[in-house]
Amino acid sequence: MNIVVLASGSKGNATYIETPTTRVLIDAGISHRQIVHRMRERGLETARLDAVLITHEHGDHIRGLATVLKQTGATLYSAEATWQHLVQTTLSDMAEVPTVFIESDHTFMLGDLSITPLDVSHDAACTLGFIIEHAGRKLVYLTDVGFLPTSDYPKIAGADAYVFEANYDVSLLFSSERPYYLKRRIDSVRGHMSNADSAYHLSKLVSDQTRTIVLVHPSEECNTVHHALGTLHEVFASYDIPLSTRDVVVATQHEPTKIIRI
């Protein structure tokens, strides 16, 4: 299974996943043109796309969705509440799109991928994370999450790879010039995950099987690669968990990550 985070942040999100037989996009928050361009930068074929999975309806996750679906003929996989919101607001022609409704904890097959949606705490109609498995390998994909209950740990522990939100540094957020209500919204249980919270959860989830961690959705104003990585290293060191044996990547808004193979 190959993974490339094409874009990650408040201006647009998209992640490409492929196996020898299946090609999937998670979210389409950047333009189809940019998706094609960034895939080609990594030497990836762009002619066929089997499906687009949508985490939730916020603009930075669906801005390019209509064009992507039109240009690729991909099937949309979405929670019904998300689809209803799209139909009633930004994408009124969504009713014409081939769509499969998906539900939390209901595993489905998409080609040779086994995918289990997971309810995520965020201020949207419905927000999903994904547990994606192929050939004995497991990817956990969690972004735009304000609170992760420990009851979810058994489902997502011990993955080969984590694409995991680390949105903001607390000090940078509360010293920023953002309105206070926005700071509180971001820092709430239905907002986003801080570097510290992300690192703590990951420290409880990783195992010897875990080889890759991709930190995603970093705030351009309230986070830096230095802060995200520094916090992860500090927390893992406090629990005597080595990072040197793992590939750690911070995704960015304007450049795709390298191809991550698991």
Could you report the per-residue pLDDT of 128-176, keeping only the tens digit for each?
Answer: 999 999 999 999 999 999 999 999 999 999 999 999 999 999 999 999 9
Mean pLDDT of 232-245: 95
CATH topology of domain 2-261: Metallo-beta-lactamase; Chain A (3.60.15)
Q: What is the pLDDT of residue 68?
A: 94
d(CA 184, CA 28): 27
d(CA 75, CA 210): 31
CA distance readout (Å), 159 to 132, 139, 154? 10, 6, 11
Q: Using an 8 Å Cβ cutoff, are 10 and 220 in contact?
A: yes
The pTM assigned to this predicted structure is 0.96
Q: Using an 8 Å Cβ cutoff, are 35 and 13 in contact?
A: no
Q: Using an 8 Å Cβ cutoff, are 21 and 45 in contact?
A: no
Amino acid (one-letter) located at 73: G
Q: Would you list the domain boundaries of the chain?
A: 2-261
Mean pLDDT of 60-87: 94
| Per-residue pLDDT tens over the stretch 83-105 | 999 888 777 677 678 999 999 99
Q: What is the pLDDT of residue 20?
A: 95
Neighbours of 233 (CB within 10 A): 14
DSSP secondary structure, 63-131, as one string: TTHHHHHHHH-PEEEE-HHHHHHHHHTT-GGGGGS-EEE--TT--EEETTEEEEEEE-BSSSS--EEEE
Residue whose entry in the numeric block shows the structure tokens 């995918």: 115
Mean pLDDT of 57-85: 94
| Per-residue pLDDT tens over the stretch 8-41 | 999 999 999 999 999 999 999 999 999 999 999 9
Q: Using an 8 Å Cβ cutoff, are 112 and 22 in contact?
A: yes
| Per-residue pLDDT tens over the stretch 177-227 | 999 999 999 999 999 999 999 999 999 999 999 999 999 999 999 999 999
Question: Residue 234 contacts by C-beta under 8 Å, 6 or more apart in sequence?
Answer: 199
Q: Report the first-to-last Cα separation within the chain, whole angstroms.
A: 6
Q: What is the pLDDT of residue 93?
A: 72
